[in-house]
Amino acid sequence: MLTHAIRFSAHGGPEVLRWEALELPDPGPGEIRIRHHAIGVNFIDTYHRTGLYPVSLPSGLGQEGAGVVEAVGPGVTEFRPGDRVVYCGGSLSPVGAYSEVRNFPAERAVRLPDDISFETAAAVMLKGLTAQFLVRRTHRVQPGDTVLIHAAAGGVGLLLVQWAKRLGATVIATAGNDEKAELVRAHGADHVIVYTRENFTERTRALTNGRGVDVVYDSVGRATFLGSLDSLRPLGLMVSFGNASGKVEPFDIGLLAQKGSLFLTRPTLFTYIAEREDLLAMAEELFTALRDGWLDVQIGQRFPLSQATEAHRALESRRTTGATLLLP
């Protein structure tokens, strides 16, 4: 069947993205064909586009989508045409969510409950599961913990703030301007640092009476890495899970000893959901949080699928808040 998708043939800036027609074959063994109703845009997509996380070219793009199953391939028994599904890709499945229709491994898809919209699902699946594993598994946030969350007005950041507060933590968050700071505060942060005019390390130390925080969740990367280490208490945990400002420079691991026998981890969602039973259990916890009403998903921007270039420009220029969607 003929369909359209965003593809690219060279690594580079948003301008390398192209809206192309392509012929989609029938789903193969173990695959389902999904017609997208909403597609999530994530910072990892820019890493694939630029080559920071290389993909074989030419390539599609995108890891997260929600839609309806149109056909199933040989051997698929869990899904049937008409089922609502959502997915967030990963190392076990190909990129290519920026498309009207695609074939996708059935074992990596999750049935979408009827009471959760396609837009909410596409906005929250990758980011929500990321927030879930960060506060429930990478560091099990406990009542009384104090956490520092960078880029707190972003898609993952806003969910992290809410989830950490739900688990009883004191949340210190950073944001780039007053408007974003108000958004973060409205979602439960106890303290918000506008990093463009305050030194977040000094402010964090002041807020914790010099002690430092138990854990830092840092998706910014190069610009905040050393300051994040300096914000931790002795034996604190640095969770570096993104590179929005660029890849972290190599450093002497002796710094971890000098700064208080610190712990450092660089986790990825796709390790945590590699086993299907983990994927389904984490998704169910996420869906329950949405149903219970305490997890608010902010969709800040919507772009037509064909305008993915503009979505990437907005994301990389820090002009977005919450989740960004592409709509076929």
- State the CATH number of the domain containing residue 199: 3.40.50.720
104 shares its domain with 147: no
Residues 155, 269: contact at Cβ < 8 Å? no
Question: What is the chain's pLDDT, residue by residue, as a tens digit (328 residues)?
Answer: 999 999 999 999 999 999 999 999 999 999 999 999 999 999 889 999 999 888 999 999 999 999 999 999 999 999 999 999 999 976 667 899 999 999 999 999 999 999 999 999 999 999 999 999 999 999 999 999 999 999 999 889 999 999 999 999 999 999 999 999 999 999 999 999 999 999 999 999 999 999 999 999 999 999 999 999 999 999 999 999 998 888 899 999 999 999 999 999 999 999 999 999 999 999 999 999 999 999 999 899 999 999 999 999 999 988 888 889 999 9
Type of residue numbered 301 = Q
* 12 found inside a domain: yes
Radius of gyration of the chain (CA): 20
Q: End of a domain among 248, 266, 284?
A: 266
Residues in the chain: 328
Task: Supply φ then ψ for residue 163, to 5 degrees.
Answer: -70, -40
pTM of the model: 0.91
Q: Are residues 254 and 172 in the same domain?
A: yes
Same domain, 166 and 242: yes
Residue 43, domain member (yes or no):
yes
Interatomic CA distance for residues 323 and 125, integer angstroms: 11
Q: Same structural domain for residues 262 and 297?
A: no
Q: Are strands 84-87 and 18-23 parallel, antiparallel or unpaired?
A: unpaired
Residue 139 DSSP SS3: coil
In tens, the pLDDT along 38-61 reads: 999 998 899 999 998 889 999 999
Q: Is residue 90 part of a domain?
A: yes
Residues 10 and 100 in one domain: yes
CATH of the domain at 66: 3.90.180.10
Domain that holds residue 148: 143-266
Residue 129 lies in a domain: no
* 217 domain residue, yes or no: yes
Give 133-177 pLDDT, tens digit per residue.
999 999 999 999 999 999 999 889 999 999 999 999 999 999 999
- The structure tokens listed for 233 are 């208490």
Two structure tokens written together for 123: 């906005």
Distance of CA 9 to the CA centre of its chain: 24
Cis status of the peptide bond prior to 304, with omega within 30 of 0: no
Count: domains in the chain: 2
pLDDT digits (tens, 9 = 90+) for 11-33: 999 999 999 999 999 999 999 99
Are residue 284 and residue 200 in the same domain, yes or no? Answer: no
| Of 215, 233, 266, the domain-final residue | 266
323 assigned to some structural domain: yes
Q: 161 and 255, same structural domain?
A: yes
**What is the distance between the alpha carbons of residues 169 and 166, in angstroms, rounded to a whole number?**
8
Query: Is 131 among the domain residues?
Result: no
* CA distance linking residue 114 with residue 118, whole number of Å: 9
Q: Which of 266, 294, 315 is the last residue of a domain?
A: 266
Task: Please indicate, yes or no, whether residues 149 and 262 belong to a single structural domain of this protein.
Answer: yes
